[in-house]
Amino acid sequence: MDYMNGPGRHHLFVPGPVNIPEPVIRAMNRNNEDYRAPAIPALTKSLLEDVKKIFKTTTGTPFMIPTTGTGAWESALTNTLSPGDKVISFLIGQFSLLWIDQQKRLGFDVDVIESEWGKGADLEAMGSKLAADTAHNIKAICIVHNETATGVTNNLATVRRVLDHYNHPALLLVDGVSSICALDFRMDEWGIDVALTGSQKALSLPTGMGIVCASPKALEASKTAKSVRVFFDWNDYLKFYKMGSYWPYTPSIQLLYGLKAALELIFEEGLDNVIARHARLGKATRLAVDAWGLKNCTQGEEWFSDTVTAVVVPPHIDSNEIVKRAWKRYNMSLGLGLNKVAGKVFRIGHLGHLNELQLLGCLAGVEMILKDVGYPIKLGSGVAAAAAYLQNSTPMIPSRI
């Protein structure tokens, strides 16, 4: 049969949704409340201040929207742009492709800069386009920080330097769905105008909350943007912020309490420590892949992701079979290869509330699956390489931020 409840705990190692920590599950295990009563506005007010910390902004205005990352994309675009506006968008994998599709369907003039899948955004091409745009017709740069389809992370600080070099006023809109709370992200320092993430990724919550943060420049742009928006309209939120009730429509009460618990865990560990932990787990996974004699889909060390590793399989092996066997035999979920890399890669997600032993268990499972599908692997090789690195690399000492 295609589905069965395997013994033991399910092992979830896709790049989102991720495992939910027990304190977060307990915090969400509560009845509904009247969101107009004093408790929810007080909770919301504190959460709005706390989420600014994960974006590393003091000037940004956050919006916690009951939606997914796709809705957060739409919110970022429709609140800052008008139909026909020219935007530059980078195509580097499946999720950047989907965002570009949304941009086109919303009526924007999208100038797509495409890279080979496995490579990062072509910032030289962006620079050439900015240099030629003396009339400043380009209104926004749209970029996915961490492309989970290929395990590629883009350098946002460099994007900002290119914009500043040409003194170009275009807005910088960033998809941080699989990066914020796991990778280094500095909204204010890097001059990001709209950043967004989803609850089911590094925050380790259920799916259902898109968190968008807008700079003062983005809020100013929203005053003249002519895109149609209703559910995602920032102005409705801002009106209720001023009233002190905070919600233009019914929020997910349980997710709000879950977010509070999730942020408490992150702040107790220390956000910089969380980022360092992801760096260690990412490095350990890549060492395991090397020890297996397999290749990383990411084609340059400067683009390696610390939240997901896409592993290229030999031509005679179908990566879909690896993912299927992981589920059926070992009660483990790995990520499929998507679109151009379908059947060619499988993905190991290593983000969220995750530690070394959990990762080593995943790597051991992958080794058994590779053996099952006929790949000549030495069992324990990748686990040993990862464990040796983790044993000798010192984790940062948790501290509250």
Domain match, 238 and 328 both: no
Domain end marker among 247, 267, 287:
267
Domain match, 33 and 174 both: yes
- Say yes or no to pLDDT of 1 above 50: no
Q: Has residue 28 been placed in a domain? A: yes
Instruction: Please give the Cα distance from 186 to 180 (Å, whole number).
Output: 9
Domain match, 54 and 182 both: yes
Q: Has residue 316 been placed in a domain? A: yes
CATH assignment of the domain containing 91: 3.40.640.10
Local structure of 362: helix, strand or coil: helix
Q: Give me the domain span that covers residue 105.
A: 23-267
Q: Has residue 226 been placed in a domain? A: yes
Domain match, 186 and 320 both: no
Quick one: CA torsion of 186, 119, 148, 366, rounded to 10 degrees? -120
Domain match, 313 and 347 both: yes
User: Which tens digits make up the pLDDT trace of 65-101?
Assistant: 999 999 999 999 999 999 999 999 999 999 999 999 9
pLDDT (0 to 100) of residue 8: 80
pLDDT (0 to 100) of residue 397: 55
pLDDT (0 to 100) of residue 47: 98
Q: Has residue 2 been placed in a domain? A: no
Q: What number is the average pLDDT over the span 186-193?
A: 98
Domain match, 150 and 70 both: yes
Domain match, 239 and 316 both: no
Q: Do the annotations mark residue 347 as ligand-binding? A: yes
Domain match, 225 and 306 both: no
Q: Please state, for a pLDDT cut of 70, what percent of the chain lies above it.
A: 97
- Say yes or no to pLDDT of 7 above 90: no
Domain match, 175 and 59 both: yes
pLDDT (0 to 100) of residue 400: 46
Q: Has residue 136 been placed in a domain? A: yes
Q: Has residue 400 been placed in a domain? A: no
CB neighbour list of residue 177: distance below 8 Å, 6 or more residues apart? 16, 69, 72, 95, 144, 146, 196, 197, 198, 201
Domain end marker among 244, 267, 290:
267
CATH assignment of the domain containing 351: 3.90.1150.10
Q: What number is the average pLDDT over the span 387-398?
A: 80
Domain match, 248 and 370 both: no
Give the E-state strand segments of 73-167 in sequence order. Answer: 86-91, 109-114, 138-144, 146-147, 152-153
Q: Has residue 397 been placed in a domain? A: no
CA 244, chain centre distance (Å)? 30
pLDDT (0 to 100) of residue 6: 67
- Say yes or no to pLDDT of 401 above 70: no
Domain match, 151 and 178 both: yes
pLDDT (0 to 100) of residue 9: 85
- The pTM of this model reads 0.95
Q: What are phi and psi of 175, to 5 degrees?
A: -85, 110
Domain match, 251 and 315 both: no
* Cβ proximity of 204 and 18 under 8 Å: yes
Query: Using the 8-state DSSP alphabet, how is residue 30 labeled?
Result: -
Residue (of 360, 332, 343, 330) closest to 297 by Cα position? 343
Tally of domains in the chain: 2
Q: Has residue 99 been placed in a domain? A: yes
Domain end marker among 267, 302, 337:
267
Q: Please state, for a pLDDT cut of 90, what percent of the chain lies above it.
A: 95
* Cβ proximity of 278 and 305 under 8 Å: no
